[in-house]
Chain A
Amino acid sequence: MSNQVNSMNKGLTVKDLVTTGIFTALLFVFVLVGGVFFATNPVLTFFMPAGGGLLAGPIYLLLIAKVHKRWSLSITGIIMGIIWFVTGMHWAFALGYLIMAIVADFVAGAGQYKSKKLNSLSYILFSLGGTGSYIVFFVDPNGWAQTMLGNGTEQSYIDTMQATANTGILIAMFAAVIITSAISAFVGCKMLKKQFEKAGITA
């Protein structure tokens, strides 16, 4: 009587959930460490999502390599969203991570979570989640500033906001996120190959 054991194709197991939890903790800490320097600096505030994307790539890719099942990344996004929300971050920031994580999950899933290119793309999308609150700003700069300026929004402010410089900032912000997270994903792929696959800790 032989009993060949197989635990694949069963949806998320407890081990997958625990792994997701642990790696979410690491992702959270690394995004926070990467972003905090920019977040507290008025001139660099737009590059906060870029800073957040710089460090977490290897963790994200190893999580995919260990679990490679649907919903793991979405759960990560939901938890990150809840934690950002509870720690008092802007709601759009939390929502951004939540939505982009689900999108990223589907992108990585398109390659069965095995394609390094799609996984990297998925990480870039995930990192773009951090731009949520800034997008809200660009969509409605008046509303954003209203609290500070009172209701008499000056014409000069609206003018400045409509000047091209701001679109420049918007583009620069997205470009920065894409570049930093691409670098991070690249380093992550290298590391996965060089270290973690050889060490036998990917599933």
Chain B
Amino acid sequence: MIEFENVSFSYTGQEHGGLHDINLKISDGECVLFCGRSGCGKTTITRLVNGLIPQFYQGELHGRVLVDGQEISNIPMYQIAAKVGSVFQNPRTQFFNVDTDSEIAFGIENEARPPQELIERVEQTADDLRIQKLRNRNIFELSGGEKQKIAFASVYAMNPQIYLLDEPSSNLDMTSIQELREHLRLIKKQGKTVLIAEHRLYYLMELADRIVYLEKGEIKGIYTPEEFRQLSEQERERMGLRAVDLRAVFPPKPHSIAPIPVLELRNVTLRYKKRTILHDIGLSAGKGEVIGVVGHNGAGKTTFSRALCGLHKDCDGQFLWESKPIERKERLQRSYMVMQDVNYELFADSVEAECSFGIRNPDQTLVNATLEELGLSPYREQHPNTLSGGQKQRVAVAVSMICGKDLLVFDEPTSGLDFDSMTQVAGLIRRLSNMGKVIFIVTHDFEFVCRTCSRVLHFDEGEMPDDVPVTMDALPKLRELFSVSDGKER
């Protein structure tokens, strides 16, 4: 049993993410989904339950949070840990060990269980979660989805009564999300209490018992999944929430303008460390076209994007720009990649300096106009690191516009974004498309693809078997590519 009694919290030196007067009871075995816009306080709720507030994050706390009648702020962290397990958003920075077995055992090692029990628990966990094939591996070789599974396994091995998941699907592909759902189903069947803060809602609709909608730190509504499904699309979008059912997401009406081809790839083969990643790819893309790129982890999406941008060296075949061959160095000049972790490409000490960074004679009017256009003017003096994820992304896009890049690649631009930010990115991409840029988007996000892309490239096993237009006619194929299932079970 978890009880929030008149809980208010505000972070020191931070406006967003606080909570006002929360009252809520969650009984044992319940699965509760917390949703709402970024900064609505849903993550803060999870932090109150696992004790990170007040023991790790500083701020002002009023009211009481009780777990099984005990006040969380009075229990030491390690005792809370035995009761409450937490899984976080970023799989890259959650693990402590280099190999998977030790990572799974990390929590139970801290609990100082005897060695024989450790071995049994790890064995049991791997069996229950069906991750035997991930055992005894180097974590750095795993994909994001596999890392997330190990993080979940590590918590599972501790066998807590309560599971907290803070945006666990942000960095996962479709298959991994389905596997995550299976894991959640398993712990629910075991009678565990599950609290999830999420933007992506569709995969949780069958699991959640209650859905709590938060706005500006207050509970604005508590729904059952049935009630929640009844919400009209307008209503839901006004609340700033992502799709509840991907089967209700459709491509837009076809836009009839045939684009003028500008980029062409002929017989392109890509290799990495002498291994062929992609074989004999041919395609052409027009000015203003927005092309989605999908495929499993390791299917070659990253190598493909890097080759497009002229960052990958080991490739055969021809790239043509306006019918003329374009060499690697020249592609590098023309293209820009907006990385999934955009922090790697922000170097300067203010947004404004970032926009003219590395340019010898920056055109100040262009900088100002671009910042204005992307709604970044109010932040021009701020350090890029102090911005939100969506804002950072826009800074990167501003850079690409000022540098006059024609070919843009976005790597998972919607990971961890709420509905509002997602539509903003979609709007941004439409604007770039209207400017005549060629845009590639590597993504798993079906909703986003339907809003932005005109076609989708599918990579699999070193080939490009599909090049599908995003239209109603191709809907069955699109659903197959994004694993949007028709029935309830796969």
Contact = CB atoms under 8 A, between A and B. Distances in A.
Nearest to A195: B349
B61 interface: yes
B349 A2 contact: no
A2 B383 contact: no
A5 B59 CA distance: 6
Interface residues of B, number: 19
Contacts of B73: 3
Nearest to B385: A199
Contacts of B55: 5, 7
A6 interface: yes
Contact of B383 (A1, A15, A199): A199
Given A198-B383, A199-B385, A199-B386, A5 B61 contact: yes
Given A7-B55, A15-B56, A195-B349, A201 B385 contact: yes
Contacts of A147: none
B58 A7 contact: yes
Q: Is the interface of A mostly helix, strand, loop or mixed?
A: mixed
Contacts of B349: 194-195, 198-199
Interface string A184-203: 00000000001100111100
B220 interface: no
Interface in A1-20: 1-7, 15
A2 B54 CA distance: 11
B477 interface: no
Interface string B344-374: 0000011000000000000000000000000
A199 B347 CA distance: 11
Contacts of B60: 2-5
Nearest to A198: B383
B130 interface: no
Contacts of A4: 60
A86 to B, nearest CB: 16
B268 to A, nearest CB: 35
Interface string B59-82: 111111000000001000000000
B139 to A, nearest CB: 16
Contacts of B62: 1-3
A172 B60 CA distance: 56
B383 A5 contact: no
B61 A3 contact: yes
Contacts of B384: 199
A195 B62 CA distance: 35
Nearest to A2: B62
A98 B207 CA distance: 54
A200 B383 contact: yes
A2 B64 CA distance: 10
B479 to A, nearest CB: 43
A5 B350 CA distance: 31
Max chain A C-beta neighbours (<10 A), residue from B62, B350, B385? B385
B30 to A, nearest CB: 27
Contacts of B61: 2-3, 5
Max chain B C-beta neighbours (<10 A), residue from A1, A5, A200? A5
Contacts of B54: 3, 5
Contacts of B57: 5
Max chain B C-beta neighbours (<10 A), residue from A2, A3, A4, A200? A3
A14 to B, nearest CB: 9
Contact of A200 (B53, B63, B64, B386): B386
8 contacts: A1-B63, A2-B60, A2-B62, A3-B54, A3-B62, A5-B60, A7-B55, A195-B349
**What are the 10 tightest A-B residue pairs by CB atom distance, in nearest-first order?**
A199-B385, A5-B54, A199-B383, A198-B383, A3-B61, A5-B58, A194-B349, A195-B349, A3-B54, A198-B349
